[in-house]
Amino acid sequence: MEIVAVPAFSDNYLWLVHDEASGETAVVDPGDAAPVLAEADRRGWRITQVWNTHWHPDHTGGNIAIKEAAGARISGPAAENIAGRDIALKEGDEVRLGSHVGRVIEVPGHTSGHIALIFDDERVAFVGDTLFAMGCGRLFEGTPEQMYRSLQRLAALPEDTRLYCAHEYTLANAQFAAHADPENLAIADRLERTKRLRDEGVITVPTTVAQERETNPFVRATDVGEFARLRKAKDSFRS
């Protein structure tokens, strides 16, 4: 399974997922069609599936155009209004790309029906706007209880699981993490590495479960109360 980041807007990553054996290609959260279709074209890939994690336009804005251009089937959370959706996904459902199987888990918090796709054998998870490198999504529709549980479920995956999130927010998240947990040397170290990478314009995702357990204050929060305080503090934090 080959995974390629397609940058869009100011900080989104749209993920192209290709299976060589079957020739199938999926795109995760195509907020915009043009850059995705161009990248797939350059690689000689035809997009057969769209997988959406949640309804926000920066994740679904390209759905219809990709369906029309490539004939792709659109799978997205059952509990949300997803543009052009063909297949409604709930906890325990599966998506398939060739022989690769992704398991659907519901991870509400950022939106109320947000899902993540877990490819256990490949140690890959597409997590949308639920977990970011050193951070998490804002609580637009869900409660702190829901988001805390969603993050704990993702953090409980095997530690070498690669987490493909939908935004390049790592530097701002690292700055908040260093502020929230100033004694944590792993956070301080990751902040410095992230600064260097971003200065060079290097992408900082995917992250891994191991790194998030060590350096993500929202994952490290010991209870919902601590999580809620951190999320509130981050909403108004300016580095």
56 is catalytic: yes
Report the Cα 66 to chain-centroid distance in Å. Answer: 20
CB of 2 to Zn ion, least distance (A): 25
Angle at 28 between CA 144 and CA 46, to 5 degrees: 175
Pick 165 or 187: Cβ nearer Zn ion:
165
Within 48-77, which residues bind Zn ion (CB under 5 A)? Answer: 56
Q: Please tell me whether residue 25 adopts helix, strand or coil conformation.
A: strand
- Which of 100, 114 has the CB closer to Fe ion? 114
Which residues, 6+ apart, have CB-to-CB distance to 123 below 8 Å? 158, 160, 161, 162
Half-sphere exposure of 222 (CA within 13 A, CB side): 0
Write phi, then psi, for 61 (nearest 5 degrees): -60, -25
Which pair of structure tokens corresponds to residue 2? 């080959």
- The 100-106 sheet, strands edge to edge: 94-97, 100-106, 115-119, 124-128, 162-165, 207-208
110 has catalytic annotation: yes
CB of 51 to Zn ion, least distance (A): 15
199 part of the active site: no
Residues 117-156 that bind Zn ion (CB under 5 A): 129
Contact 176, 234 (CB under 8 A): yes
Pure H helices in 118-163: 144-155
Give the residue with the Cβ less far from Fe ion, 58 or 93.
58
Catalytic site residue from 18, 19, 32, 56? 56
- 104 with 90: CB under 8 angstroms? yes
Say whether 179 is catalytic: no
Tell me which of 129, 168, 212, 214 binds Fe ion, using CB under 5 A: 129
Is 129 annotated in the active site? yes
Q: Is 100 a catalytic residue?
A: no
Quick note: the x/- pattern for Fe ion over 157-196, rule CB under 5 A, is ----------------------------------------
Question: Which residue is catalytic, options 19, 29, 32, 129?
Answer: 129
Least separation in angstroms between residue 129's CB and Fe ion is 4
Q: Tell me the window of 32-40, 55-63, 76-84, 191-199 that interacts with Fe ion (CB under 5 A).
A: 55-63
Q: Which two tokens stand for residue 167?
A: 């935004």
- Per CB under 5 A, does 32 bind Fe ion? no
Site residues (CB under 5 A) for Zn ion?
56, 129
Site residues (CB under 5 A) for Fe ion?
58, 129
Catalytic residues: 54, 56, 58-59, 110, 129, 167
